[in-house]
């Protein structure tokens, strides 16, 4: 059971997500497995703002200058200096001792400040509960607490996703980040994200 | 060509018209409280109270989970969790105290309330200079808060500028002056106060014009992609009519033209009424257009 960190406390673990863009086949299994696992009631409903399936993973399709189709998968970056943590007026958004950015629904009034504060645009409003949803969902948190991987990691057929502790030098994510070229999104935003995009060997 | 990842906040975070109205009412109440230090009229205190009350009702009703607010506040207090790094919680505290002081001010002006023995203290307290200085400061800070509320939303690059609180204070002052002009039109204030207000308003309109154009120029010329998307929507896109017609045309040029006519030719109550309403509308359009044009930084691989 993870606990809420108080001001000045440092997390004992720094759990991070890794997405290997060089392995990804853009099948969308991670996006759908996220919804079916964490928000099954949203499987047939659209996230109106994004015009896509309501998932904690947002898929951005684009085309490079050379005309090559490109996919970017974005989700909560569990930033070490998370803007949503600073702006949430009621303390509903917090960091736990695993370094994960969490939401306490008891303390959320649905003001949307966390939504406008997130530079990655990864929070979406559940139309019924009006909670600002994001990675990780409740069921994925249960999976992780039971020592399993989150739904997206389990569902990926190409092995393009991973999740682990950056503080553990032997964890699979640490090894990947040590041996492969990777980058983080919006590095200049100063949020210290813990979502890594692997670009190749 | 539009970027693949283009999203305006109003479609996802839903900070739209009701928040624009909230910011407008806070601006009127906030800078109206500063004006009250100089113009201590009952009508002004009623306008401040009305604006604050309507603004607060609007912002609470906008909350997606407003029904959870009592539980939220209770959990916050019992767990000792106070996030004073959030401008929103600073604003909640400021507006609550401001509302309380406004109620005292209004009570001091209502004659039948002053006849009730245990409420007479409101009359003497609300006349004290120290009280009115604190009141004006709180009003000023409430207006400043309503600007920093946007500035702190770091997902929306168009808003990440300290020009917004400055713009909010200048335009809030214009709104307070417009209220004073309307009070003159309705015979609630002396002509000399109105003349001074018109001259002050002219200067503030010029500063507001410079600040609005500066806001657009900086975002368009030197801003990030997200800021440029927002500023383009304001300057030549979806919200261009609101910017050039509403904010600048109705909100600044009409009051400047009528203000100049008033100072150089003659004072006319119907024209001052038009000028005041135009100025108030412009202050609203400014808040609405800045809110609606807010977009995220497009993400690219």
Tell me how crowded residue B78 is: count the other CB atoms within 10 A of its CB: 8
In a domain, A26, yes or no: yes
Question: For chain B, what is the mean pLDDT?
Answer: 95
Judged by a CB distance cut-off of 8 A, whether residue A131 touches chain B is yes
The answer to whether the bond into A136 is cis (omega within 30° of 0) is yes
Record: contact A112-B14, CB cut-off 8 A: yes
Domain span at residue A64 reads 15-82+135-200
Is residue B300 predicted with pLDDT exceeding 90?
A: no
d(CA B74, CA B72): 5
Domains of chain A: total: 1
- A132-163: buried (b, 16+ CB within 10 Å) or exposed (e) per residue? bbbbbbebbbebbeeeebbbbbbbbeeebbbb
pLDDT confidence of B80, banded at 50, 70, 90? confident
Give the model's confidence band at B1: pLDDT under 50 very low, under 70 low, under 90 confident, else very high.
low
Q: Measured between CB atoms, which of B4, B68, B76 is closest to A62? A: B4
Q: How confident is the model at residue B290 (pLDDT cuts 50, 70, 90)?
A: very high
Measured CA to CA in angstroms, residue A142 lies from A93, A129, A150 at distances of 18, 20, 9
Tell me if A23 is assigned to some domain.
Answer: yes
CATH number at A68 reads: 3.30.70.20
Residue B191's CB: how many other CB atoms inside 10 A?
11
β pairing state of A15-20 and A195-200: parallel
B9 contacts chain A (CB < 8 A) = yes
pLDDT at A201: 57
Backbone conformation region of residue B86, classed left if phi is above 0, alpha if psi is from -120 to 50, else beta: beta
Nearest CB among B86, B297, B301 relative to A87 is that of: B86
- Whether B299 contacts chain A with CB within 8 A: yes
Per-residue pLDDT reduced to its tens digit, B10-25: 999 999 999 999 999 9
Optimal mutation site among A121, A132, A182, A189, interface B, most CBs of chain B within 10 A: A121
Its ipTM equals: 0.93
Please report residues of B whose CB lies closer than 8 A to that of A72: 5, 299-301
Residue A96 lies in a domain: no
Residue segments in chain A with a per-residue pLDDT below the cut of 50: none
* Interface-testing mutation among B73, B154, B292, B294, with chain A (most A C-beta atoms within 10 A): B154
| Residue B152 to residue A86, Cβ atoms within 8 A | yes
Segment B114-153, tens digit of pLDDT: 888 888 888 888 889 999 999 999 999 999 999 999 999 9
Q: Does A121 touch chain B (CB under 8 A)?
A: yes
pLDDT in tens, A134-161: 999 999 999 999 999 999 999 999 999 9
Place of tokens 């500066």: B214
Q: Work out the number of other CB atoms within 10 angstroms of the CB of residue B26.
A: 30
Residues 6+ apart with CB under 8 A from B108: B45, B114, B122, B123, B125, B126, B127
Calculate Rg over the CA atoms of chain A.
16
């Amino acid at each position: 059971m993870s606990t809420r960190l108080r001001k000045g406390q440092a997390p004992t673990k720094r759990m991070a997500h890794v997405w290997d863009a060089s392995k990804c086949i853009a099948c969308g299994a991670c996006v759908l497995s996220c919804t079916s696992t964490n928000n099954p009631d949203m499987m047939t409903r659209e996230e109106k703002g994004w015009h896509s399936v309501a998932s904690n993973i947002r898929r951005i399709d684009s085309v490079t200058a050379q005309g090559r189709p490109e996919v970017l998968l974005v989700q909560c970056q569990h930033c070490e200096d998370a803007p949503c943590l600073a702006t949430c007026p009621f303390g509903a958004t917090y960091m736990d001792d695993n370094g994960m950015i969490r939401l306490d629904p008891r303390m959320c009034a649905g003001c949307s400040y966390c939504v406008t504060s997130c530079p990655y645009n990864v929070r979406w409003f559940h139309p019924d509960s009006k909670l600002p949803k994001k990675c990780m969902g409740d069921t994925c948190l249960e999976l992780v607490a039971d020592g399993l991987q989150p739904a997206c990691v389990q569902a990926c057929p190409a092995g393009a996703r991973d999740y682990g502790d950056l503080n553990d030098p032997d964890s699979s994510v640490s090894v990947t980040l040590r041996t492969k070229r990777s980058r983080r999104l919006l590095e200049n935003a100063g949020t210290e994200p813990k979502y890594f995009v692997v670009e190749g060997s | 060509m539009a970027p693949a990842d283009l999203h305006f906040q109003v479609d996802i975070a839903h900070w739209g018209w009701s928040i624009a109205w909230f910011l407008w009412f806070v601006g009127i109440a906030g800078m109206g409280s500063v004006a009250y230090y100089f113009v201590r009229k009952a009508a002004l205190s009623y306008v401040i109270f009305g604006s604050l009350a309507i603004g607060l009702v609007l912002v609470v009703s906008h909350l997606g989970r407003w029904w959870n607010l009592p539980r939220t506040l209770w959990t916050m207090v019992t767990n000792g969790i106070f996030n004073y790094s959030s401008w929103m919680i600073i604003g909640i505290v400021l507006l609550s105290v401001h509302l309380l002081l406004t109620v005292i001010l209004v009570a001091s002006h209502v004659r039948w309330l002053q006849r009730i023995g245990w409420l007479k203290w409101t009359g003497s307290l609300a006349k004290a200079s120290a009280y009115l200085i604190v009141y004006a400061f709180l009003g000023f800070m409430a207006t400043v808060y309503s600007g920093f509320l946007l500035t702190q939303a770091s997902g929306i690059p168009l808003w990440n500028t300290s020009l917004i609180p400055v713009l909010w204070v200048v335009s809030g002052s214009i709104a307070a002056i417009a209220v004073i002009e309307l009070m003159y039109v309705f015979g609630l204030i002396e002509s000399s106060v109105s003349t001074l207000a018109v001259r002050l308003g002219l200067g503030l309109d010029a500063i507001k014009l410079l600040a609005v154009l500066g806001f657009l120029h900086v975002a368009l010329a030197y801003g990030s992609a997200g800021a440029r998307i927002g500023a383009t929507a304001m300057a030549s896109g979806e919200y261009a009519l609101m910017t050039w017609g509403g904010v600048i045309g109705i909100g600044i040029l009409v009051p400047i033209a009528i203000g100049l006519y008033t100072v150089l030719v003659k004072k006319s109550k119907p024209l001052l009424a038009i000028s005041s309403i135009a100025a108030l509308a412009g202050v609203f359009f400014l808040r609405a257009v800045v809110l609606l044009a807010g977009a995220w930084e497009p993400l690219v691989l």
